[in-house]
Amino acid sequence: MLEKDELTQRKLLHLINGFYTQLESGEIPALLLPTRTKANIAYDDESEVWVYGERESTRSAKTTRGAYQLLKTSYVVDFVNTQLKQAKSSTLRELYYISENWDLAKFGEQQESDRLIEDLEIVSELQREDFHIRPEEDGASIMGPLRIREKTRRGTKTIHCQEDVGEAGYQVPCNVDALEFLEHDARLVIAIETGGMRDRLIENEFDEKFDAIIIHLKGQPARSTRRLMKRISEELKLPVAVFTDGDPWSYRIFASVAYGSIKSAHLSEYMAAPAAMFVGIRPSDIINYELPNDKLTDQDIRALHSLLSDPRFDSEFWRSEVNLQLELNKKSEQQSLAKYGLDFVTDTYLPERLTEMGII
């Protein structure tokens, strides 16, 4: 067994041994975990990202819910342990399906098993890759003046993310740490939420005109995408701009890139890129640019109110923008800029905004 895997195994068995000791000494088995809510994330001055705070909650076999979770935890550890011994790996989805055979310890839905793996990451201070568990996520794509080297199964490949790729760009692998950035001529990185806008920028040759590395986030970004943003931001020392729709869900996308997400705050230091900046669409753009818009739904309104109590959004900028949006009762998409023609976003909106923010 690899040394790394042995360490993982030791940490997992330590956890199980904790349960055993509790049972043996007549204590009700329990597990302490940080509370994973927005009320329990704190800003870490050193890493400049949001991590879990002091609050902990106990998962105890005193309740049926807690007892089931601990039972499932034991089964997952057993599974991971065996996997490590046999030098195999599996996906999150496979783990969910394997639990079909676990009788009472079977997961009701994949979300539940995904979450349990995150819990294991937190208590063991490891990452799911250490458990040989892979995500199924759709990673980001890159287009821009950047040369990378990737270790693949068929040897090491060097790829230029403009010259050596098709229209779809360079597809980032799951394991971002297998990449090496060789050289670049870029002045900025711009991360785009939607595919339509990403294609618009490429068709309008934004990457060439502005020496930009264009990254497609594909909605709520996968871990690999966020890790990539973090590495580009820190290793290439380039400004990172995030360009999304103008609704609460998009602001959350930006927050998870820049500040770290609530669900995986234990990995913020590894994945969040605090230098990233929010370009838009801002609620004030809806008025200033007279953008075509939609009415907020009830869920939108609830999500906006929730942002107001989210410590990550506790700044003058966000407070005024969120309150403005609630007042307007409107939201706009990135592509609504097309009202002023297809070139407006690349010729006017982005250059103006990026200049204003001091990025170009």
Partner 1 sequence: MAIAEELAKKQRVISVAEFFEKNRQILGFDSAPRSLITCVKEAVDNALDACEDASILPDIFVQVARAGDDTFLVTVEDNGPGIVKEQIPRIFAKLLYGSRFHVLKQSRGQQGIGISAAVLYSQLTSGKPTKITSRIGLNDPAHYYELIINTKINEPEILVERTTEWDRPHGTRIEMEIEASYVRGRRQSIHEYLKSTAIVNPHARLTLIEPDGNMMVFDRATDIMPPQPKEIMPHPDGIELGTLIKMLRYTERQKLVSFLMNEFSRMGRKTAEDICKDAAIDPSEIPANISHDQAKHLLGAFRKVRIQAPPMDCLSPIGEDQIYQGLEKEYDVDFISTTTRSATVHSGNPFIVEAGIAFGGSLPKEDRIEILRFANKVPLLYQQGGCAITHAISDVNWKNYDLNQSGGTGIPVGPAVVFVHVASTKVPFTSESKDAIADIPEIMNEIKLAVQEVARDTKNYLSRKKLLERRKDKEEIIKKILPKMVAKVSSILGKEEPDIRPVIAKIMGNVLVQREVTSKADGCFVSLKVRNFDEHARSFKLHELFKYDVLEAPEAKIMKVGNSTSLVWKISLVPGEQKVLSYNIECSGTPELQAPIAEGIDKEIITGAKVV
The smaller minimum CB distance to partner 1, of residues 7 and 71, is found at 71
Nearer to partner 1, 13 or 87 (CB): 13
Tell me how far, at minimum, the Cβ of 18 lies from partner 1, in Å: 10
What is the DSSP code (8-state) at residue 30?
E
Least distance in angstroms from the C-beta of 73 to partner 1: 9
97 as an active site residue: the answer is: yes
Among residues 112 and 137, whose Cβ is nearest to partner 1?
112
> Any bridge partners for residue 32, and if so which?
58
Residue 220 CA to residue 139 CA, distance in Å, equals 11
Instruction: Please state whether 220 falls in left (phi above 0), alpha (psi between -120 and 50) or beta.
Output: beta
β pairing state of 277-280 and 240-243 = parallel
Compute the Cα dihedral for 343, 347, 348, 350 and give only its sign.
positive
From 52, 97, 259, 270, the catalytic residue: 97
In a 10 Å sphere around its CB, with 0-12 CB exposed, 13-18 middle and 19+ buried, how is residue 126 labelled? middle
Q: State the nearest-atom distance from the C-beta of 52 to partner 1, in Å.
A: 26
Separation between Cα atoms, residue 284 and residue 328, nearest integer Å: 9
Residues with Cβ within 8 Å of residue 332, at least 6 apart in sequence? 245, 246, 281, 285, 286, 291, 292, 293, 294
Q: How far is the CB of 67 from partner 1 (least distance, A)?
A: 4
Q: How far is the CB of 83 from partner 1 (least distance, A)?
A: 13
Q: Which is nearer to partner 1, 38 or 106 (CB)?
A: 106
Q: Which residues bind partner 1 (CB under 8 A)?
A: 13, 16-17, 19-20, 22-24, 26-29, 61-64, 67-68, 70-71, 74-75, 77-78, 81, 103-105
Counting Cβ atoms within 10 Å, is residue 295 exposed (0-12), middle (13-18) or buried (19+)?
A: exposed
Residues belonging to the active site: 97
